[in-house]
Amino acid sequence: MSRIGKKIISAAGVTLSVSPANEITVKGPKGELKQVVDRDIKVELVGDEIHVLRPTDQIRHKALHGLYRSLVANMVAGVTTGFQRNLELVGVGYRATVTGQLIDMALGYSHNIILELPKEVKATATAEKGQNPKIFLESIDKQLLGQVASKIRSLRKPEPYKGKGVRYSDEIVRRKAGKSAGK
């Protein structure tokens, strides 16, 4: 049996409902998330625990078992505590401002980049003296949050020589030596 798939999900403070079309709805204090599950995988609520079950030991069912267990666990974690992703802008003149659902970033190009965020994602930006500007993203949907953070990072990826660019706050950029000084 799948090690991840057979783990039990604690559903304290969360309501779970499964529609006949195998759509799971998880409601919690931070909001509501929905996910369509493959028709072969069964999701059951037993007391305060969520069990994800598969019908057979086929390779396909084994793969889906762990996948949907992880998706449901992320939904439960999202509606109870939420997820956060932090980005850091490293470079001279790099800055970001957030107004509503728009992020205005100066990333060394000839023009500012304005990015509209989905309504499920909340953003804040800070710029303290002597430190790199930071963007903080929050959401209950882990997948959407990762996509948005990846999109922002792709606008100016960290380069290996000076380390300039947009990076995750916990990311380590391997630096290269560059050209040698003399002949």
For the stretch 5-61, pLDDT in tens is 888 899 888 999 988 888 999 999 999 999 999 999 999 888 889 999 999 999 999
Answer whether residue 180 shows pLDDT above 90: no
Number of domains in the chain: 2
What average pLDDT does range 115-141 have in this prediction? 95
Higher pLDDT, 181 or 107: 107
**Residue 12: predicted pLDDT:** 87
Residue 32 domain-assigned (yes or no): yes
Please give the residue range of the domain that contains residue 69: 9-80
Residues 13-22: contacts with CB within 8 Å, 24+ apart? 13/80, 14/76, 14/79, 14/80, 16/43, 16/45, 16/50, 18/43, 18/45
- The 10s digit of each residue's pLDDT in 92-119 is 999 999 999 999 999 999 999 999 999 9
Residues 128, 140 within the same domain: yes
Residue 63 domain-assigned (yes or no): yes
Residue 142 belongs to a domain with what CATH number?
Answer: 3.90.930.12
**Residue 21: predicted pLDDT:** 87
Confidence of residue 182 (pLDDT cuts 50, 70, 90): low
Residues 90, 156 within the same domain: yes
Interior CA angle at 21 toward 19 and 26, to 5°?
A: 40
Residues 38, 72 within the same domain: yes
Residues 47, 117 within the same domain: no
Give the domain-ending residue among 80, 109, 132: 80
Residues 14, 65 within the same domain: yes
- The 10s digit of each residue's pLDDT in 160-169 is 999 999 999 9
